[in-house]
Amino acid sequence: MLYGHFAVSGDHEKSAICCLCGLIGEADDWNSFDHAWRALLANPSIDFDAVACLRGTGIFQSWDIRRRHALLADLSAVLAGSALAPIGVSVVREHFSGLSSSDRAILATEGIETPLDLIFHDLTERVIRRVHEESEKISLLLDREPQSAAERYNELFNKHLSRYLLGPHLMGALAFADARGCSHLQAAKLLSETVLSVETQKLFPEKAGILFPLPSALQQSVEPICEQGRFDAAELGKLTAKLKSVIRTRE
């Protein structure tokens, strides 16, 4: 049995990048991670919030950059030392909206009509493939912030899951929880926010704002996601070409 915990970042029109990231592992791997993560945050006691830590807001408003960087470096070491596998998808909104009407129509045949559709579509496929190879079933938990988006995320998940015959057998219903009380979702949100920061700085430095010095271990943790899960103009072109080929075969 595998367990996957995920979080969405950049789910608003002003964000240049939209991403869905998280970690997958077995129960023992998650238990070991949880113990190490919570022990690190126990003194002083912190309800970790990745967004607040990266931006220096909320409970981290009084922390200077050096102190926040040190905490993230320690948390990154816990992530790097775990057996959990990072996985995620990101899409460049500008490149998605710049697709031709014919390409958008091709994507629509697979139910992909928005950037959120695309990240749920791709991640669902990759998770199903992984579970089919490594286990019999996976339990999925998603950060429910913002709460207003939970219903929409659930609809997207179910829509893309239904495309696969084995999907419902490999995955149960998508569950939601608050990251503030769940170390697993805190880590997932940290990954998604890091991918958002790295990709925005790389593709749209003028929109990145003040650059927070991300720990090298954290950047290394998201490298596989950035390299394998990025849908920019080139990858969107490959996807539409692949789907065109599938459609021709069906005809």
pLDDT tens readout for residues 166-199: 777 788 889 999 988 899 999 999 999 999 999 9
Q: Which pLDDT score is estimated for 208?
A: 64
Given a cut of 80, whether residue 107 has pLDDT beyond it is: yes
40-52: average pLDDT = 86
Was domain 2-250 assigned CATH 3.40.50.280? no
Residue 251's pLDDT is 60
Q: Report pLDDT digits (tens) over 114-173.
A: 999 999 999 999 998 888 888 789 999 999 877 778 899 999 999 998 888 777 778 888
Domain ranges of the chain: 2-250
**How far apart (Å, rounded) are the C-alpha atoms in residues 162 and 169?**
11
**pLDDT averaged over every residue in the chain:** 90
Segment 229-239 shows an average pLDDT of 95
Burial class (CB within 10 angstroms; exposed 0-12, middle 13-18, buried 19+) of 43: exposed
Other C-beta atoms lying within 10 Å of the C-beta of residue 212: 17
pLDDT tens-digit readout, 53-82? 999 999 899 999 999 999 999 999 999 999
The least confident of 38-47, 118-127, 159-168, 204-213 is: 204-213
| Model pLDDT, residue 210 | 61
Q: Among 185, 182, 193, 196, which residue's Cα sits nearest to residue 90?
A: 196
State how far the Cα of 48 lies from the Cα of 41, in Å rounded to an integer: 8
Give pTM, 2 decimals.
0.93
pLDDT of residue 209: 65
**What is the average pLDDT across 97-112?**
94
Whether residue 22 has pLDDT greater than 90: yes
